[in-house]
Every structure is written in C-alpha cells, then in structure tokens.
Amino acid sequence: MMQAQRLGSVRPSMILGLVQKARSLAAEGKPVIDLGIGEPDFTTPDHVKAAAIAAIGADETRYTVVPGTVALREAIRGKLARENGLDYALSEITVSNGAKQVIFNALMATLSPGDEVIVPAPYWSSYPDIVAVAEGRPVIVDCPQEQRFLITPEQLEAAITPRTRWLLLNSPSNPTGGVYSRADLAGLAAVLARHPHVHVLSDDIYEHLMFDGHRFASILEVAPALKPRVLVVNGVSKVFAMTGWRIGYAAGPQEIVTAMNTVQGQSCTHAGSISQAAAVAALTGPTDFFAGRARSFEARRDIVVAALNAVDGIECLVPEGAFYVYPRCAGVIGRRTPAGEVIGSDTDFCRYLLEQHFVSAVPGAAFGLSPHLRISTAAPAEALRSASARIAGAVNALT
Amino acid sequence: MRGADLLIKTLAEAGVTRIFSLSGNQIMPVYDACIDAGIEIVHTRHEAAALYMAEAHAQLTGEVAVAMVTAGAGMANAMGPLFTALESDTPVLLLTGDSPVAQDGMGAFQEMPQTAMAGPLAKLSIRPLRAADMGRDTARALRLAQSGRPGPVHMALAFDVVEGDAGEGAVPQKSAFAREPMPAGAGDLAALRAALAGAARPVVLAGPVLTATRFDALAALAGALDAPVVPMESPRGLKDPALGAIGQLFASADLVVSLGKKVDFTLGFGSTRLFDAAARWHVVQASAEERDRAHRNLGDRLAQCVAADPRDVARQLLDTGAGSARAAWRDEAAKLLAARSTAEVPEGRISPAALCAAVQRQIDAAPEAVLICDGGEFGQWSQACVQAPARVINGVSGAIGGGLCYGIAARYARPGATVFSLMGDGTAGFHFAEFETAARQGIPMVVVIGNDLRWNAEHQIQLRNYGPQRTIGCELSAARYDLAAAAMGGHGEFVTDPGELDAALARAVQSGKPACVNVMIEGLPAPAGPAH
C-alpha cells in the first residue's frame, strides 16, 4: 500500500463526491439543479482579466519570489490598511495558491504531532482534514443552531488545553453564513487573553459578502493586542469571482509567515505569476461592484430562507453573510421516502433530494454538524425558487 | 646583497614584521636574511597552517600578511588556503621556495610549474628571474594584493635568484607598495545615491572586505544610507544561520546595492525566485570578472555596474545623509536578520546553543576578544549564536580546519585580546599539531571543540537525503583532544556536564596557554534560520 499513514484520517471530499454524482445525472439528461459547490456565479472583472493578459504579453512568466511579488504584497498591505485598519510589513504577508493553500501552509508550518486545533462545527469541510495531514488533532466543538452556529466563550475556554495551538475562526461562515459580531469577538478575545499560547487563524474569505447592513469585523478590530497571535487569511476568490485563479494570502507574525514560506518554498514555490498580476489589479482597482454582488446574494438568500421555512420539517436561520443557507432537517429524519427507504441522516436526505428530485445539496455531515444541509445560493434566482419548490415537494412526499 | 636580502628589506620597508612559515632548504637564504632585518618567523607544523595564519592576520590588521613555504609538496600544501584567501578577498603574499632558474627543464629537485598551479588561485603568480628585480617585484606583489579586490599574490623564489647578487637592485620607495585607491566617479556616485533615495526598501549587501571586523564604519554607513547593510562572508549564503530570515528580506527589497558582494551562489545567483523581479541592482566591484558575473546573472535587472573599490565607495557614501524615513524598514530588516530557531536536547546533555552561550559569557567578560568560527555544523552554531567585536570565520571557500591557525594569528594581530576559537571535532583534526606551535610560541588562546563524535555537517546531509539507515563514513571516535593538547604543552579541559561549562572555560582563559576545551555536545543540525 503506497498511501502514507498520515492520510489515514483524511476523508475524501464528500462535497466533490456529490458534485460528481450531480454531474453524472445531468449528463444523463436529468434536470439537476446543482446547489452543491461554493463558487460565485459572477465573472472575474474585466480590468482584472486585462491585467492578466498584459502580464502574459509582458512575459511575466518566470519564477517569482516565494512569498509573492512585491507589487502584490504591497497591494495586500494597502487593502488591509484601507479596509481593515491593519498595518503589516511586507515580510509579514505571504501569497499562496488560494486561501486553502495558505491554511495548509500555516498548519504544516506550526503543528507538531498531537498539537490541537479548535475547530467550531459546523466548519468548512477541509479544516479538520488539513489539521490531520499536518499531524495535528482537530478538537471539534459543536455549535448548534440555537447559538447561531457560533462558538461561545464558555465553549472556547473548555476546549483549550496546553496542547492547543490554533483556534480556527471563519466569519462570515462557510457553510452557515453566520457572522461573529463585535460583541461575540470581544467575548472570545477575553478568553484568548488568558491563554497566550493559543493563536487565531481568522479566515475572512467572505468578508465583502455581508447582508442586512452588517459591517465586517475581525477579531483584531476588537482586540488589537492579539495581533502577535493572529493570522489573517483572505483571498480574491469570492467577491472578485476568481476561484480558478488560485490566489489567497495571509498576514501575520513574521515568524509564522516565514515558516509558511519555508513550507511553500518546498512545495509549490509560489502562486502563478499571471494570477498574481491579476490579483494586483483586483486589490488596487475599483470595488464599487462589491455592494451589488452582496445585495444579489442577499436577495437570493431571502428566496431560499422564506421558501424552506415554509416546509414542515425544515428550519432555516437567516444567514448574515456569504452565499450559503444551512437549514436544519431534523424533521425529516426517521421518515420514509415513497420508495420505502428510511431517511436516517442528512446524508440520506441529500441523496434522496438528488436522486429523486434532482436537487444537489451537501449534507451537514460534511461540515461536522447534522442533521443539516448546505445550499449554495450562487445560482440564478429562478433556479433557487425551483430548487426550493422541489425540496418542499420532496419533504411533503415523505411519510 | 643577495636577492633574499633585497626581498626582506623591501618587506621590512613595507612594514612587515612577521612571516608565517614552515622551513625548507630552498628558503634558507630568506630565513637568514630575516635575522638582520629583525623580521620574526612564526614557524608552523604544516604549510597550509602558515597561510591560514597569514589570512587571519591580514583580516584583523588590515595589512598584507606574508606566508613563506618551501618548494615541491610544501608549495602544493599551501594551495588550499590560497583558494580560501582568494574567496575571502584577503591580501596575503605567499612566498614559495623554488628550484633554480638555471636548471629549468633539466629535472631539478622539486622542479614544479608553480606559477601554473598558483596562477588560477591568486590575483597574480610570478617568478622573478633576477635577484635585482626582487625589490620591484615584491613591491608589485604587495601593491596588487591590497588594491582593487584584495586577494592573495604568489611569488616563487627560485633558489639561484634568492642566493644571487642583487647588484643594482634597490628597495622601492613607499608609494610603490601602497594600495591604489579606486573611488567611484562623481557621476556614478550621484546615480547610486539617487537610486537609494528613490527606494522604499533598499538593501545593501557588503562583501567580505566590508565586514564589521574589516571595516570600521559599517553602522555609520547604514545610518548614512538609511538602509540595512548586510555583510555576507559565509559559504552558506542565504542559509547562514547568523543571517536569520534574510530570504524574507531579499524578497521584499525594491533595490539591491552590492558593495563588493559577488552575485554568486550565496545570493542564489540573483535569481527572481529570491529577489523580486522588479527590484533593480547596483553593483560596485573592483574586479572585472565579478562585474561580468553580475551582468551575466542579473541581465536587465542590473541598473548600474561600477568599476570601483567597494571600500572606497563605502567611505564616499558615508556623507550621504539619507535621513531616517526608512526607519521602519530598517527595523523590519533587523528583526528578520535576528530571527533564530533552535531545538531542545535531552536533559543532562549539552546543546550547541548552551555551549555557545557559555562562550559568550566569557567573551563578554574579556576586556578585548576575538572570535574564530570554524567548521561545518558547529561552526554554523558559533556563527549564529556568538558575537564578538572582531571575528574571523572559515569563509566563502567552504574550507574547514584553519580555525586553530586563525586563533594563533589573531593573538599576534591583537596582542591584548582573549582569543576564542570554536570548531567541531572533525575540524579540530586538520591542524591539531599547531597546538605545539602555539605552546612553543607562548600563545594563549581558548580552543573550544563542540564534540559530537562525527563529521556532523555531512552526517546531517546523509540523514536528510538518504535517511537514518544509510549513514556512512562520518563517525569519529571519542579521542581525548584535551589530553593531546596538554601533551603538546597546552591546557586541557574535558566537559560532559552542562554544570561544568562555565568553570572549565574560565580555567581555560586563566591558564595563559593554548587551551583545548573538549565539550561533548548533542549533535544537532545548525540552527535553521526560519527561511531555510
């Protein structure tokens, strides 16, 4: 067996498995509405595309420095200062192939075998797997719907041990769209102040997709003293619709960033040179389209939340950001499909939705908290209405 | 007057008071000439040791140092350190005995193509053919050794030339052997200053001639330029653990100024993987070969290439007065360069870091100290963890083994200083017999052997590249180097307990002898700067 032992606890991506199934059904001509993948349905802005084409024409095709070009790190520094009031030196910033690679580098660089990472559930499905590859131990803390899927200060205090290295915070959240308010973050910061050995990885990737007038806040805004222990992670994938360009970045303590660059230097070397040039244009160019994109997702959220809350057996919190809805489907567990199969879990429910009603959603099991399902609202409004109606029909057909 | 007398009188006129040497029949006339000229001969147990001593002496005094060895294998033995002095930009004059000119081609005893052998390893290799020319040729050698890019010069002393009548030959006037300054022209200087003024994150890289030991105004230069000035003289280049996270510094720089720093393997050949592609380079090199190398490796990124002596340009730049707008950048650079990471060791064992800290305590207590760092892995530890106002290291050539010799020379160069020479157990073996030289000459010094019972640098390479099951040929025995040093007239200390370190080192300092402190340490890899 060629597989390394360290992959033993790493799960194949459930999300990608369902996406594959959805595509197979679509290829058979079934009218699948795919709400599984977390990718915005906008396009990369024209000025960003133009910058990439210009970079190709200027032969910016050679190796760049490992942490990312000076121009891009300057752009990131400018963005962090301008939008977040944060001041970082260039050597405290690193660029990787997507925020996922950034997180991978951070954990590979800082975890020794057995080190613990607190992962509030529901979580972005890759967090615990990346911790496992880095030979750390994910400490899953269940954060149910009743507490808005957010970790509480009491839960954080209870989860911290001498082996704790990181707390992973993701706000707005994938999969829930939940947002930590300034008060929520202040409560967590007070706990962290008592445990100086714990660092925070603040995954801010959905920062610009906030709804209902809420303003994004990072933990560093409420507790600037935590700066030596916080790694701010972000990227251009979501609001700029640049998922395929693979540019993510982090800003944080020099020692950690340097160690991350060491990992990167011996893995992928650096993010693509053309993508880096495009990202410079994104981060230094116009941002007036952000509000429009956020409003679009907000409107689509409203469609799905209203429709699902009308379904007996499904309860849906109103997400405050990102482009996901994470309804609880406890009311369908134990019921039977028209074919007589028992819905024993959210996974069973999602399989039923896909195979019988051609709606692809991701079960809560993939995100560590069941029974839920994640619906991506990155689809046309009409598709979301149709999908919601099919879900309602699917639930009504259960006995 | 013999050719030998003219040679020695010229050296004396140039201020030479000491020659490091190992005797041989071809150079006996020169030995004889030294008596009347009052030039001291410090004679060693190996020819390479003599040239290593000259190298350290030159670095610590700023003057050309002289080594003299005999012909044949004696001359060949000095070729390794000749390369070392070339790479460290050190002005030394290597005199080698040689077979007579009159017997060239006849198969004379130890007839050897000396200038062909030494030529590629020195700035100049000559073989005077007439005794009367010894003054002129010696002056030329001294002048060339210290001018432009300083380096070694070799002179082969044919026996019939040193024995022959110098006749009309005379000692040249002082100006004949003085250094020839090569300052930058006004236009070049203005362009360099303008580039520095326009940069947000400049970094100035200084070559071996501009280390803190060899250039007395390094801090002033950094202040005048409002830029970090980083001397680089280690064969590990970016991976020098004494330079912390220097790779991060390079990746953020928007301007790179090289003052005599070769754009070679130590800088990743200036690759855009290490230096941002948009960063511009300004290179100051006295050597045409190094200017060509900069052009080749940097291409269009080389904005300016100045034919000048970096030492002179550094002095010219001292009145730049760039202000302090880049204080934050300089602070960032200082933090990056200071970054270190170290490993834990089992309790009761002595870590390389703990040994270095104990040596540092002795250095800090000494009124004046010189630090010698030699060796592979432990040599890197000492470079990273120990500081002293004056330092000589086994430099860019990557040779090891000269540390004992450097230490002896350091005491001659700085008679009031306490000399600490740190090395691994492998390194100590190259010139161990020089303990006898030091004892015979009455040279006190403290040689600290970080003993991990192996050639640890190579052992670490094997572990990394081939795995722990495939280590071979790197183990050394637990030989008692301290006892051997004591048997040669020195002082010995053997330390296995961390609690004994301070007392053992103190006794070594107080012994007044060449002391060997043999310390059993945990064989760890050198402290990897976080960027390694």
Asked if B277 lies within 8 A of A69 by C-beta distance, the reply is: yes
Q: Are B198 and B330 within one domain? A: yes
- Give pLDDT tens digits for B219-276: 999 999 999 999 999 988 888 888 999 999 999 999 999 999 999 999 999 999 999 9
> What's the pLDDT score for residue B342?
63
- The answer to whether residue B530 sits within a structural domain is no
Range(s) of chain A covered by CATH 3.90.1150.10: 5-43+289-396
Domain end, chosen from B177, B197, B218, is at B177
Nearest to B339 among A62, A65, A255 (CB): A255
ipTM above 0.85, yes or no: no
Helix axes B352-365 and B501-510, enclosed angle (nearest 10): 40
Report residue B530's pLDDT band, with 50, 70 and 90 as the boundaries.
very low
Q: Is the pTM of this model over 0.90?
A: no
Alpha carbon A318 to its chain's center = 18
Q: Are B333 and B358 within one domain? A: no
> What's the pLDDT score for residue A15?
67
Q: Are B92 and B130 within one domain? A: yes
| Mean pLDDT, chain B, integer | 94
> What's the pLDDT score for residue B531?
41
- The answer to whether residue B37 sits within a structural domain is yes
Is 3.40.640.10 the CATH number for A46-284? yes
The b/e string for B232-265 (b: 16+ C-beta within 10 A; e otherwise) is bbbbbbbbbbbbbbbbbbbbbbbbbbbbbbbbbe
Task: Report the residue of chain A nearest B276, measured CA to CA.
Answer: A65
- Give pLDDT tens digits for B127-144: 999 999 999 999 999 999
Domain end, chosen from B129, B160, B177, is at B177
User: Taking Cα atoms as reference points, which of B81, B157, B82 lies closest to residue B121?
Assistant: B82
Phi, psi of B241 (to 5 degrees): -65, -15
B78 by Cβ neighbours in 10 Å (0-12 / 13-18 / 19+) ranks as: buried
Specify the CATH number for the domain of residue B296.
3.40.50.1220
Task: Report the residue of chain A nearest B279, measured CA to CA.
Answer: A70
Q: Domain of residue B84: give its range.
A: 3-177
> What's the pLDDT score for residue B236?
86
Domain end, chosen from B279, B311, B338, is at B338
- DSSP-assigned letters across all residues of B259-288: ES---SGGGGGG-TTTS-TT-EEEEEES-H
C-alpha distance across the termini of chain A, in Å: 46
> What's the pLDDT score for residue A41?
85
Report residue B151's pLDDT band, with 50, 70 and 90 as the boundaries.
very high
Alpha carbon B185 to its chain's center = 30
> What's the pLDDT score for residue A40?
87
- Give pLDDT tens digits for B267-325: 999 999 999 999 999 999 999 999 999 999 999 999 999 999 999 999 999 988 888 89
CA-CA distance, A177 to A209, in Å (whole number)? Answer: 9
**Which residues on chain B are in Cβ contact (under 8 Å) with A269?**
273
Asked if A208 and A240 touch (Cβ cutoff 8 Å), the reply is no
Say how many CB pairs under 8 Å bridge A and B.
76
Asked if A89 lies within 8 A of B271 by C-beta distance, the reply is: no
Q: Are B170 and B196 within one domain? A: no
Specify the CATH number for the domain of residue B88.
3.40.50.970
DSSP label at residue B78: T
> What's the pLDDT score for residue B346?
72
Across the range B47-74, mean pLDDT stands at 98
Asked if B276 lies within 8 A of A269 by C-beta distance, the reply is: no
Q: Are B360 and B418 within one domain? A: yes
- The answer to whether residue B532 sits within a structural domain is no
- Give pLDDT tens digits for B443-460: 999 999 999 999 988 898
**Which residues on chain B are in Cβ contact (under 8 Å) with A265?**
531
Is 3.90.1150.10 the CATH number for A5-43+289-396? yes
> What's the pLDDT score for residue A115?
96
> What's the pLDDT score for residue A2?
82
> What's the pLDDT score for residue A21?
86
CA-CA distance, B262 to B289, in Å (whole number)? Answer: 10
Asked if B251 lies within 8 A of A269 by C-beta distance, the reply is: no
CA-CA distance, A351 to A3, in Å (whole number)? Answer: 29
Q: Are B113 and B143 within one domain? A: yes
Range(s) of chain A covered by CATH 3.40.640.10: 46-284
| Mean pLDDT, chain A, integer | 94
Q: Are B215 and B126 within one domain? A: no
Q: Are B401 and B357 within one domain? A: yes
Task: Pull the structure tokens for residue B267.
Answer: 């800088």
Phi, psi of B211 (to 5 degrees): -70, 170
Asked if B248 lies within 8 A of A259 by C-beta distance, the reply is: no
pLDDT tops 60 at residue B388: yes
Report residue B375's pLDDT band, with 50, 70 and 90 as the boundaries.
confident
A232: closest CA of chain B, how far (Å): 19
Report residue B406's pLDDT band, with 50, 70 and 90 as the boundaries.
very high
Neighbours of B279 (CB within 10 A): 23
pLDDT tops 70 at residue B45: yes
> What's the pLDDT score for residue B344?
67
- Give pLDDT tens digits for A116-155: 999 999 999 999 999 999 999 999 999 999 999 999 999 9
SS3 of residue B255 by DSSP? strand
Q: Are B141 and B194 within one domain? A: no
Q: Are B318 and B385 within one domain? A: no
Could you tell me if A262 lies within 8 Å of chain B, comparing CB atoms? yes
Q: Are B129 and B190 within one domain? A: no
CA-CA distance, B410 to B379, in Å (whole number)? Answer: 17
Q: Are B148 and B276 within one domain? A: no
Q: Which residue type sits at A377?
A: T
Across the range A29-38, mean pLDDT stands at 89
- DSSP-assigned letters across all residues of A280-315: HHHHHS--THHHHHHHHHHHHHHHHHHHHHTSTT-B
> What's the pLDDT score for residue B501?
96
Task: Pull the structure tokens for residue A327.
Answer: 């309804």
Across the range B155-163, mean pLDDT stands at 97
pLDDT tops 60 at residue B343: yes
> What's the pLDDT score for residue B3?
97
> What's the pLDDT score for residue B516?
98
The total number of structural domains that make up chain B: 3
> What's the pLDDT score for residue B376?
85
E strands, chain A, are 33-34, 93-96, 116-121, 137-142, 164-170, 199-203, 230-235, 248-251, 324-325, 359-360, 362-363, 373-376
